[in-house]
Chain A
Amino acid sequence: MNRRGFTNKISLAAVASILGLEIVYGHRMPKGYRPLGLQDPDPFKMFHKDKEMVVLNNKPWNMEAQAHLLNDDITPNKYMFVRNNGRIPENIEASQWTLTLDGESVKNKKTYSLADLKDKFQHYTYQLTLECGGNGRSEFNPPAKGNQWTVGAVSCAEWTGVRLRDVLEDAGINSDAVYIGYHATDTHLSGDPNKEPISRGVPIWKALQDETLLAFAMNGEDIPLAHGFPLRLVCGGWPASTSGKWVNRISIRNKVHDGEKMGGTSYRVPCETVAPGSKVEDSDMCIIESMPVKSLITYPKSGALIKQGQTLNINGHAWAGELEVSKMEYSIDFGSTWHTCSLKRPKNRLAWQHFNATVSFPKKGYYEVWGRATDTNGKAQPMVLPGWNPKGYLNNACHRIAVKIV
């Protein structure tokens, strides 16, 4: 038996079980946390995800839902997509966690413990839509570089925390403040301790919105590890990369935040539209702010066989970044005619809205049900791919499911 074979078979857990050792402070470990350096090969167990979730990448961990998994009004953890730019931090002690406010435009640099934040500031709960800027990337032509998300990198969970505004104002914001940038404890894939995997942010006007939270709970429980335990910045309606996980520092900046993945092609699109495949200079790229109007048909699952004469009840969600969705329609004839769905108002600003409709089919055959949402500015989802961009962001082309009448 060679050395490698031996190390294959022996593990920390095995040693612990041989020696009868208990894991010290085991009771303090957050749910979903594994002491084996997150090497557990089963991400579904490790992150408490449903087996139907799709793993796009295991280093770093990236996982998306399928449309039919997102049928709940409020997305439970098991169906929530996971997006990481670096390695998930380990050995988090919530009782030792601090958040520092600094930057050129902070009046008083301040550090708060997690307990301070919870005690000192009022708590708010909002349902907030978080969509990865690259959701739908897999459809771009020519293909765009990165994780090939299909439709499932979106969620709307219920987040509880304190308003970022209240904390920023407590530290004091100088009048020259234009942006905030977050810093977090995730680590770079290369292992370089001097590199941050991601450090993004939002303009000060977004940071000061009622719904922009420093959240410590998701769906009424501690935030799951993969989603930012113990403290996450949540900026609903914007690319989810602005909602920094494991946040331990917020910088109030007197210029656009220049952290990792704020420049180049990262989370930026050509300021002026370009032909597919164009080379775009960095100076011609603009930062994505609000996500565009979009919708998902979450019931039924694509592929339903229905008997002739039966009606089909469809439902799903629609969202529009900073805006509200004003109209939801469906088509069963490839976009030739559209019919209105019943659409609910959002629970709060930046929450996704639920729609449903009863669909009749005229005769046997193959159909596609297409969904199209329109926002309060009158912008609707396109039926083909929207403007091409180098990294394949902002694909809000209408969602389609296949149905056969038999």
Chain B
Amino acid sequence: MGKEFQKQVRSLSKSLLSFLILILVLFGGLYYWANHKSKPEITEIPLEVSSEDYDKVENGIHVATGFIDDRGMQETIQNCTACHSAKLVTQNRMSREGWKATIEWMQETQNLWDLGANEELILTYLAKNYAPTDKGRRQNLEDIEWYELN
């Protein structure tokens, strides 16, 4: 009876051990494969850029978001790009009052949180870097790419 039981325990622990080893090998292999092999289907779909790339600034523009690099940019990224794209900010031009009204509208209707002490920093950043310019009633045609048409 006791022998039989010991035998059962041994065989159970044996199969448990081999199962564990199998899991270890599988996940170890998976980890190794994911980290060391550059299969095209992995590199083609990055989920997020790494932190070194994320902070990269070129010609005064934060590459990952397109924001102008200036005091208040980090707070703007943190508070303004959780729901919508940075592009929704950078394609717009508003006065300080306009940006403030937009923030208030988002707080009233779009679930934007209280920005606390960051509000001042963000408003100053936006009003300085994304201020309107006078475009008149109709602008010149710009950025024309000339090409020969036969």
Q: Which residues of chain A have a CB within 8 Å of any CB of chain B?
A: 1, 4-11, 13-14, 17-18, 36, 39-41, 55-60, 139, 141-143, 145-148, 188-192, 195, 264, 300-306, 310, 312, 368, 383-385, 397, 400-402, 404
Contact = CB atoms under 8 A, between A and B. Distances in A.
A404 B84 CA distance: 41
Interface string B73-93: 000000001011101100111
Contacts of A147: 88, 91
A41 B50 CA distance: 15
Contacts, number: 126
Nearest to A141: B135
A302 B141 contact: yes
Given A13-B41, A17-B41, A147-B91, A384 B137 contact: yes
B77 to A, nearest CB: 13
14 contacts: A7-B47, A7-B48, A9-B34, A36-B45, A57-B85, A141-B135, A143-B135, A195-B111, A302-B141, A302-B144, A304-B148, A305-B147, A384-B138, A397-B138
Given A8-B50, A56-B87, A304 B149 contact: yes
A40 B33 CA distance: 22
Interface residues of B, number: 48
Contact of A143 (B51, B93, B138): B93
Contact of A40 (B45, B85, B111, B132): B45
Interface of B is mostly: loop
A139 B139 contact: yes
B94 A305 contact: no
A400 B141 contact: yes
A56 B91 contact: yes
Contacts of B134: 141
Contacts of A301: 147
Contacts of A1: 35
Given A6-B35, A143-B92, A148-B92, A14 B41 contact: yes
Given A17-B41, A141-B135, A141-B137, A146 B50 contact: no
Contact of A58 (B33, B46, B87, B132): B87
B149 A306 contact: yes
Contacts of A401: 141
B1 interface: no
Nearest to B31: A6
B137 A145 contact: no
Residue in B34, B39, B50, B93 with the greatest tally of chain A CB atoms within 10 Å: B34
A9 B49 CA distance: 10
Interface of B: 30-31, 33-35, 39, 41-43, 45-51, 81, 83-85, 87-88, 91-94, 98, 102, 105, 109-112, 132, 134-139, 141, 144-150
Given A39-B47, A143-B93, A145-B102, A9 B147 contact: no
B84 A8 contact: no
Contacts of A264: 105, 109
A59 B85 contact: yes
Contacts of B148: 304-305
A335 to B, nearest CB: 11
A194 B145 CA distance: 47
Contact of B94 (A18, A143, A384): A143
The 4 closest A-B pairs by CB, nearest first: A59-B85, A190-B111, A304-B149, A141-B135
A147 B102 CA distance: 14
A264 B35 CA distance: 51
B149 A13 contact: no
A7 B141 CA distance: 46
Contacts of B91: 56-57, 147-148
Contacts of B102: 145
Contacts of A190: 83, 110-112
A139 B138 contact: yes
